[in-house]
Copies of this chain bind each other. A is one copy, B any other.
């Protein structure tokens, strides 16, 4: 198998190199043809690399980046003034075909803004989307987009999102004719705003998309669809509110468990049960997200990701390279646009 190169933003995320190095090491052990380009401050990276075995050292290239995009940087500020940052470098490497994909856990807004500027969208795609896999009942999963890459989505953009989500479900999750739904405030035809209604008509008319109609907020976790499309405003608010709700549940659990000695004992016994559920409830933290619709592969790990979650993001990048996701999206959108002109 030919060499597969992924550029890693070593300084992205709250936990930085500390969690990224171990994840990279595991990925190298699991995938023999994998190579990394680490982007970050040279001293931090070489200190770690010098301690590794020679066969590992041979599979990692270091790219010195004196600048760091912080979580507080405004996207436009990062774009203009942080051209030597680790985040920008990973995107430049993908743009120059020196890396097949990149992974960053840094400032999401800055990453979207920079990636859009550096990599540009694929032909036929107006805007990139941020997509994640959300767990559902019965061990299922649903692709959910947009998580906030684009808050003003017209029907054409929402339609393109449906196409892209469908490609990911087909290529990465190997679902034949994935069921695509639009998120709406009701399941009847008359419901929804103009963008949603117009998108529904576009999707109904397309032979290339297995469109199943509207779903509501409570259907997201119910396995009714394989892909759920919404605009970045509602999508971002929904996703972040789940994180808030899960944190709230944790607080309630802690509070309830402090009630008396018996509740303390019960809480301790029940903790593993809770923990398993908790981990499944925080989809983006665990799965990360992908920025799709661009001419290159960009995977966004959660800012607060663990080493395990960062490894998951690396694996996602590998899969997207192997399945040639950007090419597949390009092909599908071409087919859909052709269909319209017939």
Interface residues of A (CB under 8 A from B): 74, 109, 135-137, 148, 151-152, 183, 185-186, 188, 190, 192-194, 216-222, 230, 232-234, 236-249, 251-253, 256-257, 263, 266-267, 269-270, 273, 276-277, 280-281
Name A217's contact: one of B135, B218, B241 (CB within 8 Å): B241
**A87 to B241 Cα, complex, angstroms:** 33
Known: A244-B220, A245-B221. A256 touches B237 (CB 8 A): no
Beta-carbon contact of A74 and B188 below 8 Å: yes
When C-beta atoms are compared, the residue in chain B nearest to A234 turns out to be B234
> Which of A137, A194, A237 has the most chain B CB within a 10 Å cutoff?
A237
Distance in angstroms from A238 CB to nearest chain B CB is 5
Closest residue of B by beta carbon distance from A244: B218
State whether A185 touches B237 (Cβ < 8 A).
Answer: yes
A185 and B148 contacting across the interface, CB-CB below 8 Å: yes
Asked whether, in the complex, the Cβ of A137 is within 8 Å of the Cβ of B248, the reply is: yes
- Do B222 and A244 touch (CB < 8 A)? yes
Give the shortest distance, in Å, between A332 (CB) and chain B (any CB).
27
Residues of chain B within 8 A (CB-CB) of A263 are 273
Let me know if A190 and B74 touch, CB within 8 A.
yes
Task: Given A253-B277, A273-B270, decide whether A242 and B240 contact each other with a Cβ distance below 8 A.
Answer: no
- In whole angstroms, what is the CA distance A240 to B185 when docked? 9
Question: Are A218 and B243 in contact, with the CB atoms below 8 A?
Answer: yes
Measured between alpha carbons, how far is A238 from B237 in the docked complex, in Å? 7
Most B-side CB within 10 Å, residue of A217, A239, A243, A251:
A217
Shortest distance from the beta carbon of A181 to any chain B beta carbon, whole Å: 13
CB-nearest residue of chain B to A256? B273
In the complex, the answer to whether A256 meets B244 with C-beta atoms within 8 Å is no
Contact pick for A151, options B185, B233, B242, B276, CB 8 Å: B185
B220 touches A241 (CB 8 A): yes
10 closest pairs, A vs B, by CB? A217-B240, A270-B270, A217-B241, A218-B244, A221-B248, A185-B236, A217-B237, A218-B240, A234-B234, A252-B277
